[in-house]
Structure 1
Amino acid sequence: MSGLAYPLLRLTGLRPFPRFLQAPPRHSSALFSGSDSTHAIPVPPPVDLIRQRNFDLLLESLDKNGNPSRVWANYTNLLTYLGYEQLPIEIHQQVLRKCTPSSRLLRASATRRLFLGNVPRLPHIYEGRLQAVVRNIRATGTQPTLDDYNFVLEQFAAVGHHVGAMQVYGELSSVGVVPRTKTFGLCLQAIAHRLTLPVKRNDKPRLIASTRRMVSDLVNAMKTFNIPFTSVNLDLTMRIMKETTDMQGFESLMKWGYGIDLANPDCPPLEYLASSDGAQTPAPQAFSTAALNTTIDTLGRLGNISKIVQAFEVLTTPLPRASSSRYQEDDDDDDFGFTPDLTARFKPPSASPNTTTYNLLIRHVSRAGNAALARHYLLQAMELDRQTMFRLKHDLGNMPLEEVPAPHFAINRGTLLSVFGESNRDKNLGLMRWLQSKFYRILKKKQNEHQFFKRFRVARQRKRLWPYEEPSTSTAPIPLRSILEARAAPAPTAAPRRRPRFMTVMERWAAPRGVGEVFNVDVDDESLPPPTPLKTFDLDLHIRVLERDIVEIEALRVHVENIFARTTYRLKERLGRRVWQGRDIYLSTDGNRRRRVSMQQWETIANVRPLAGKRSQDVYRFPWSEPPRRQRWNTSATVDGPPSQPEANLPPTATP
């Protein structure tokens, strides 16, 4: 080891200490017998041996991908004995990437710590190591590369350290490093991940305000560097905008990312018309159904119902593209500075709605209290469901089953639940009665479809056109009552489980749903998104979905009937008390005016009959409507007050 110390130091770029700091050479005749002692190899001093030993340990820990703490310990030990010598920049870069655990392990441990209430002082517990390595790289006279900064951003994104990510972005911008699409994607990922983590109620407004500023700075920087939005970065930005409810930023993002002006969704944005000839503005991303759902949900969170309706109607049914000859026929007085060819070449973005689109639309419209729009879009959804099923049956009769596209729309429990919620909140008995009348039609249609597809599967089984194990000949409708009873029955007692094996931290704890969704994207992918693959029709899956929808809608129907009966009874009670007290009530059948009615008339109007042996007065006699009784002063001595007063007649209490 001692003889190879100097060659290794030369290969690694390390220089030994000056001669005057080294110990005098020692000669050993036992080790070098038969040779002249004046030509013996000099032995390096102990400090150089320790330094070389630490360097070998560091290289060994880096090559074996060992424990990050071991890599960091060997790195700091080597720097302690290194003195004024400088390590190669490649060694610093390897230590930077291996002195911390992987981003996957950091994400799991940090999220678990936050949900357990253990909030650390620093979001990234190894942030000090990363800062020290970056300082050591600068001490060598060079600057960290963009890949080094991206690695630090990836570590901060794993724990949701959005403040540190923006500080790293500001540092690389100040030293002149040009960011790429991945750099902006990692910053957006850190912000989006932080919004999914728990935060104190008092700190949430400050967090939302800071994230708005950060996203605005990132979007403006992308415009400055003329970096186009990729599908990943656009998806992350839309997620952040949906949580922060920034209307101005969301409108700017829709213009820059999809070429949609929410103020005039049927017209191209002015930025694209003004720069189409110079091709300075990047091409917008393709508008998909997922983007349509995000747009509807974001506008619904902002509470702008007119924007929701406008965006839905225009983006799902775009206007036909106009030809340039049409513009030539128009008057020249209507020229607003746009070239007709540019407007004609611009393809208006659009997307086809699915079940989630209508569920989100009806939910936000119902929460806004607009019963007319909720009823309208539910009728539209029922019509779209009928058209979708008609198209599916037509494809099944004219195409092979392997080539039939899967349907993307069907009415389910979520489509009807929002309308019922609106009627129940406002006690709108008219809307509730109308919704109750639609259940029979929807359930009957679902039952017929279920029978049709079961017969279709049996026919294919008999023709050996589908690889089923056991053909089934039952085509009877689903016994709803038995299914509901089976679901309500208690589950059978399970057998005692075996002792679980040893599990890792990742297996013993799973983050709540929605926490890790921002990491299901690839920020390294800068290519255009591939077209959405065509999903083929799955017969078994479709039958199972129909069975689930029938059971859920039937349960909702029973619940709506109970709520409707209870609300109607309470309304009759309230009006009956007004009639008994001699107060007027509103009658829509009597000229839309309020007037007083007798008990006999009210019994006929409300279809109320007293019980056998009871009078109408006894049926509607309530404690607050009875004549007031005479009250007496308490004759017993009180602890706090004077002796009791003699009896006195109190005035009658007012009837409420």
Structure 2
Amino acid sequence: MPYALVAPAFQSVARPSSQRILAAATRLSSTLTLSPDLSDATQTPEASTSAPQDFLRYRKFHELKDSLTRGGSPSRVWSYYTDLLNVMGYDQLPLQVHQSVLRKCTPPSAQLRVSAARRIVAENVPSIPHIHEGRFQTVIRNIRAIDQQPALEDYHFILEQFAAVGHHVGAMQVYKEITKTTGITPRTKTFGLCLQAIAHRLTLPIEQELLPQRTTQTHLMMSELISDMQSLQVPFTSAILDLTIRILKETVDVDAFEKLMTWGYGIDLSNPDRLPLHPTQPTLKAALGIAETPLPGLSVPQPFSTAALNTTIDILGRFGNVSKLVQAFEVLTQPLPRANEHLFSSFDDDDDFGVADNPKTHGRLPPHAIPNTTTYNMLIRHLCRAGHATLARHYLLQAMKLDRTTDSILRYNVYNYPLRRVFAPHFAINRGTLLPVFGHSNRDKDVALMRWLSSKIPSILKRKKGSLQFFTTFKENMEKKAERRAALFAAHPNAAPNSAFRRRPASAPSNERLPSLLERKPVPKPNTSSVFEVDVENSAPPSPPAPIKRLDIDLHLRVLQRDIEEIEAFQERLRAVLGRNTQRVKERLGRRVWAGKDVYMADEGQRRKVTRQEWQRVVGFKPKTVVDARSKTGTARVDTPSSLSTYFHSNQVAAKAGQGGAASQTVPKHFTSTLKRR
């Protein structure tokens, strides 16, 4: 349904019945509160015992007001709102009531993202992207019907809701209504929310045949938004740049991406250890099809964040340029401060080779960012897809070292500093770090790499289990201290203010025990959370860095428990696949030995013929156990070549049995049929 709304007549206002709305699924309440001046600006109908209609309006109004104030469920708020419209009419309600209902008739955007991710995992995708889109349309129509204009923040709330579920079509319809119907000038946040909805939609699953259509559609939407930003002179902030790069990685070529990185972040991917010599403003005409005018804003390069680093690693990995991928990762995560000061030239001073260094770049640290778990997971995944097992093993070892360092620093900080001053860790090895290496070794049947990976998992699990035990004990001790403090305060309620039993001020951070997150059901976190980490609120470049997260003991314990369970399950799967591949290699080489052919001996570094007895000792074949059919007891045969429990030995027995007449009855039929086919 299009968002080009006009002021309708009173009869055309959509008023769903209260019975239908009350039958809808109850949603969790929003955290928004009623406007403070609502009680002053609202003419509350007075109760009258002589007029039942006035009493009904009075009751319905106070039901809605109480639900908005207390934060009732969205379905209950919407039910009270429609009931009040049926008895009172929209023209008698002030603007603040409609705006409060708009924000309370749907769950918060953060909660909506989680519920949408759950539906995707359960393959329960709704027919419409946002289930409460009709409610937004009704409230906006009612506001226009009372000759009022919706504020830009009202549209921003709707855009934020649409961005949470990736409803890019609805977001563009709201944007067109803002610019063409209301005449309101959009701000940086308006464009940021629209681009956020488009970027989030690109991360959601879609049928393969609809992928080109979605790519073309999002391409045109972003072209329209960038063109309007140029015409309205809206500044191109760091958030807009980050979202634009996320969208462009689906359609743009390498050259356009490198130009955007040079202009936006001051990073020349051909020489990432130096500032660009001649940064120019790209027009992105080839990528977006917009007018050849410079992009607004960005007078200085934007700060290079971890989210931008992850996007850069992902794009370079998709392009398949492993050399540039590794170079960008090494330089952008470990910059060399004032590297030009350590360079020297062995040529004469009169010779002029190359371009002189820019003196303005001295003393300035090149753009860089701290890698996190997603960075290493993306890097190892792209290296394994490109077939570089050596680099993948190197960065997995580097990730293990960083995991040990991060865990040691976290333990030291927790033990020596107050909990409110400890930062949350930014890196931890999980199943996603190990899975690409396992997939590469399984595809190429690289048993050596798979065996090496299996040898590293026990140390990872041991460290994580030790960390889980440490933080569990730390939490228990912290709870015991809180209980003893509470008991001492209860025993000395009249203690002096400066005594050790005084009450903690309300402004101080609380360490009271909350319900343990280990007892709750883990909530699947959407894999597109990084799209919502950009700050679309700030319109003044450069945007400030993201806030630092403090350590949450319960959340950290839950993450450790989840990682341990996933890695243990992964270890069992790895053992089964490794045993299967090893057995297949032994059988394949064993058939060569039984046929009198040579095999390569790794300890000797040459190929030579091996006897059956020597091969049995080298590969470690166990003697076959013969089971007595009457006693059901097993007796080990003599360690001879004919007693090997292998596939090729079964074929040999089948061949002899086929020549021995009655002895062939003891040979399984499928072995005999296989022999005949050969």
What is the TM-score with the length of structure 1 in the denominator? Answer: 0.59
Q: 1:290 aligns with which of 307, 312, 335?
A: 307
Look up the equivalent residue of 1:189 and give its one-letter code: Q
Q: Using a 3 Å threshold, how does the CA distance of structure 1 residues 97 and 565 change in structure 2: closer, same or farther? A: same
In terms of mean alpha carbon deviation, does 542-551 or 434-443 score higher? 542-551
CA contact (8 A) 1:402 1:536 kept: yes
CA contact (8 A) 2:236 2:297 kept: no
Identity %: 48
Q: 1:422 aligns with which of 409, 428, 440?
A: 440
Q: What runs of 5+ residues in structure 2 fail to find an aligned partner?
A: 1-60, 69-77, 283-295, 486-522, 625-636, 660-673
Matched, 1:240 2:247: yes
Look up the equivalent residue of 1:333 and give its one-letter code: D
CA apart distance, 1:347: 3.7
Q: 1:333 aligns with which of 344, 352, 364?
A: 352
Q: Using a 3 Å threshold, how does the CA distance of structure 1 residues 256 and 119 change in structure 2: closer, same or farther? A: farther
Look up the equivalent residue of 1:313 and give its one-letter code: E
CA apart distance, 1:264: 2.5
Matches within 5 A, 1:501-580: 513=526, 523-527=536-540, 529-537=543-551, 546=560, 549-580=563-594
Q: Using a 3 Å threshold, how does the CA distance of structure 1 residues 307 and 600 change in structure 2: closer, same or farther? A: same
Look up the equivalent residue of 1:599 and give its one-letter code: R
Instruction: Tell me the distance in 1 between the aligned counterparts of 2:535 and 2:473.
Output: 44
CA contact (8 A) 1:300 1:364 kept: yes
CA contact (8 A) 2:333 2:368 kept: yes
Instruction: Tell me the distance in 2 between the aligned counterparts of 1:247 and 1:654.
Output: 57
Instruction: Tell me the distance in 1 between the aligned counterparts of 2:136 and 2:613.
Output: 81
Matched, 1:200 2:207: yes
Matched, 1:369 2:387: yes
CA apart distance, 1:281: 4.3
CA apart distance, 1:402: 4.5
CA apart distance, 1:574: 1.8
Q: Using a 3 Å threshold, how does the CA distance of structure 1 residues 163 and 343 change in structure 2: closer, same or farther? A: same
CA apart distance, 1:218: 4.0
In terms of mean alpha carbon deviation, does 117-126 or 280-289 score higher? 117-126
- Which residue does 2:453 correspond to in 1? 435
- Residues 447-485 of structure 1 show CA distances to partners (whole Å, capped at 9, x for unaligned) of 555566677778x76xx9942569xxxxxxxxxxxxxxx
Matches within 5 A, 1:353-368: 353-368=371-386
Matches within 5 A, 1:454-473: 466-467=481-482
Instruction: Tell me the distance in 2 between the aligned counterparts of 1:548 and 1:101.
Output: 35
Q: Using a 3 Å threshold, how does the CA distance of structure 1 residues 162 and 383 change in structure 2: closer, same or farther? A: closer
Number of residue pairs the alignment of both structures matches: 517
Q: Using a 3 Å threshold, how does the CA distance of structure 1 residues 216 and 576 change in structure 2: closer, same or farther? A: farther
Instruction: Tell me the distance in 2 between the aligned counterparts of 1:410 and 1:613.
Output: 51
CA apart distance, 1:255: 3.2
Q: Using a 3 Å threshold, how does the CA distance of structure 1 residues 102 and 212 change in structure 2: closer, same or farther? A: farther
CA apart distance, 1:426: 2.1
- Which residue does 2:601 correspond to in 1? 587
SS in structure 1 of the partner of residue 391 of structure 2? helix
- Residues 196-231 of structure 1 show CA distances to partners (whole Å, capped at 9, x for unaligned) of 555432121221133235435544664676644335
- Residues 481-539 of structure 1 show CA distances to partners (whole Å, capped at 9, x for unaligned) of xxxxxxxxxxxxxxxxxxxxxxxxxxxxx999468986787744425544444444556
Instruction: Tell me the distance in 2 between the aligned counterparts of 1:183 and 1:393.
Output: 43
Instruction: Tell me the distance in 1 between the aligned counterparts of 2:244 and 2:463.
Output: 41
Instruction: Tell me the distance in 1 between the aligned counterparts of 2:469 and 2:526.
Output: 36
Q: What runs of 5+ residues in structure 1 fail to find an aligned partner?
A: 1-60, 79-90, 471-509, 631-651
Look up the equivalent residue of 2:328 and give its one-letter code: A
CA contact (8 A) 1:355 1:410 kept: yes
Q: Using a 3 Å threshold, how does the CA distance of structure 1 residues 614 and 154 change in structure 2: closer, same or farther? A: closer
- Which residue does 2:488 correspond to in 1? none
Matches within 5 A, 1:446-457: 446=464, 449=467
Instruction: Tell me the distance in 2 between the aligned counterparts of 1:345 and 1:516.
Output: 35
CA contact (8 A) 2:424 2:549 kept: yes
Matched, 1:308 2:340: no
- Which residue does 1:386 correspond to in 2? 404
- Which residue does 1:498 correspond to in 2? none
- Which residue does 1:262 correspond to in 2? 269
Look up the equivalent residue of 2:583 and give its one-letter code: Y
Look up the equivalent residue of 2:435 and give its one-letter code: L
Instruction: Tell me the distance in 1 between the aligned counterparts of 2:227 and 2:259.
Output: 10
In terms of mean alpha carbon deviation, does 297-306 or 117-126 score higher? 117-126
CA apart distance, 1:153: 6.9
- Which residue does 1:317 correspond to in 2? 334
SS in structure 2 of the partner of residue 268 of structure 1? coil
Instruction: Tell me the distance in 2 between the aligned counterparts of 1:100 and 1:287.
Output: 37
- Which residue does 1:481 correspond to in 2? none
SS in structure 2 of the partner of residue 585 of structure 1? strand
SS in structure 2 of the partner of residue 295 of structure 1? helix
Q: Using a 3 Å threshold, how does the CA distance of structure 1 residues 334 and 167 change in structure 2: closer, same or farther? A: farther
CA apart distance, 1:313: 0.5
Q: Using a 3 Å threshold, how does the CA distance of structure 1 residues 201 and 341 change in structure 2: closer, same or farther? A: same
- Residues 216-256 of structure 1 show CA distances to partners (whole Å, capped at 9, x for unaligned) of 55446646766443354344334434555764554344334
Q: Using a 3 Å threshold, how does the CA distance of structure 1 residues 282 and 219 change in structure 2: closer, same or farther? A: farther
